[in-house]
Homo-oligomer: A and B are copies of this chain.
Amino acid sequence: MSRADEGLPFLLRYENVAHYRDGQVWILDRRVYPAREEYVRCGDYHEVAQAITDMVTQSGGPWLAAALGMVSAARGVRNLPASRAREELERAADVLGRARPTTSQGMRAHILRILNIASDAIEKGDDVEEAVHAYVMKSLEKRYRYSRVMAEYAVGLLPDDVTILTQCYAETLIGFVLLVCQEKGKKISLICPETRPYLQGARLTASVAHDMGIPVTVITDNMPAYILSKGMAQVFISAADVITLDGFVVNKVGTFQIALAAHYHRVPCYVLGTPSVNNPDVTTVEIEERDSDEVVHAMGVPTAKAGVKGYYPAFDITPPELITAVVTPKGIFAPGDVKKYFMSAP
């Protein structure tokens, strides 16, 4: 059976997101890509959590990095008595789960499943590092397969000749959307808002499309409404950091105003992701505020006079009324119906 990342470009191949070797987790430093291709080496789970907090990786990246942090933690407890080993792994799960506040619910749920695998291995006397690593790689494979399924549903909604407007770096989801479009012979091109302050759109999403040979245009974050008013994109596609069960979409700051502009111009807005069982409604969402210094720097260069402050909410919240459809691994839902996801057959 072929690997689920087959056909995807450099940035989206498993080992280039993050990989594990002998207790160490190597994470591609997305803060400097594509100017430099560098990996941050994390010697233990604390360093993995710090790398996630520092946004060495983002979007789906922390999901894999944190899981590999658990593998590293599992290696560290191999020679401990079972109860001490469990304690230490619980500590690791807690530290890794709290690395980014907004996505912490989903991250904790993922890490708790890893913790159960580790507990089972400890109980059975299996090699806990090996058991956890095998589980993480299986989950990763499944995650990619689910991404492809979502992309296939999404591509089914697109015309044969389409320019997609996206936001930030939707990782495997946008990668598979582009790949499936290519496979189906659709004529596609992509417009990426640059996504300040970290410029994930310009640096990451545009690189993925460029590496796949798909025409891509970068715009600044103040241009989506103009682009849509000129009919230059026929659909807005984004991923989500959280989809609450009452249909709100939490995603990189800027998603909300693009969705507003799309709605105004009657351009469909499709959000790809799995509803978060841990976020029953929008009141459970905490918007992470990051170091405001990033906002008054661009590519490391100060943009404002010394003493001028920035403000950096990392995410925003798009209400269901602006979203045309939520595309999940189980099919397409109206945003008001995402609760039904958990009643659907897989």
Chain A residues close to B by CB (< 8 Å): 34-35, 191, 193-197, 199, 202-203, 206-207, 210, 216-227, 229, 252-254, 256-258, 260-261, 264, 287, 295-296, 298-305, 307-313, 316-317
Q: What is the total number of copies of this protein in its complex?
A: 2
Interface centre among A34, A258, A303 (most CB of B within 10 A): A303
Q: Which residues of chain B are near A254, meaning CB under 8 Å? A: 220-223, 225
Interface centre among A203, A226, A301, A310 (most CB of B within 10 A): A226
- Cβ–Cβ contact B256 & A226, under 8 A: yes
- Cβ–Cβ contact B225 & A303, under 8 A: no
Q: Which residues of chain B are near A191, meaning CB under 8 Å? A: 311
A104–B295 Cα distance when bound, in Å, is: 34
Q: Which residues of chain B are near A35, meaning CB under 8 Å? A: 302
Question: Which secondary structure dominates where chain A touches chain B?
Answer: mixed
- Cβ–Cβ contact B308 & A202, under 8 A: yes
A299–B317 Cα distance when bound, in Å, is: 30
A229, chain B: closest CB distance, angstroms = 7
List 6 additional A-B contacts (Cβ < 8 Å) besides A196-B222, A202-B303, A260-B264.
Answer: A193-B222, A196-B196, A202-B308, A219-B310, A220-B295, A299-B301
Q: Which residues of chain B are near A303, meaning CB under 8 Å? A: 194, 199, 202-203, 218, 299
- Cβ–Cβ contact A299 & B296, under 8 A: no
A63, chain B: closest CB distance, angstroms = 23
- Cβ–Cβ contact B218 & A296, under 8 A: yes
Q: Which residues of chain B are near A225, meaning CB under 8 Å? A: 254, 256-257, 260, 316
A200, chain B: closest CB distance, angstroms = 10
- Cβ–Cβ contact A257 & B302, under 8 A: no
Q: Which residues of chain B are near A300, meaning CB under 8 Å? A: 301
- Cβ–Cβ contact B298 & A301, under 8 A: yes
- Cβ–Cβ contact A304 & B229, under 8 A: no
- Cβ–Cβ contact B260 & A257, under 8 A: yes
Q: Which residues of chain B are near A216, meaning CB under 8 Å? A: 308-309
Q: Which residues of chain B are near A261, meaning CB under 8 Å? A: 256-257, 260
A318, chain B: closest CB distance, angstroms = 9
A203–B253 Cα distance when bound, in Å, is: 22
A315, chain B: closest CB distance, angstroms = 8
A61–B34 Cα distance when bound, in Å, is: 37
Q: Which residues of chain B are near A301, meaning CB under 8 Å? A: 298-301
Q: Which residues of chain B are near A203, meaning CB under 8 Å? A: 303-305
Q: 28 A-B Cβ contacts within 8 A?
A: A34-B305, A193-B222, A194-B196, A194-B298, A195-B222, A196-B220, A202-B304, A202-B308, A203-B305, A206-B304, A207-B304, A210-B307, A216-B308, A216-B309, A218-B310, A218-B311, A219-B310, A220-B254, A222-B253, A225-B254, A225-B257, A225-B260, A225-B316, A226-B257, A229-B317, A257-B261, A260-B260, A299-B301
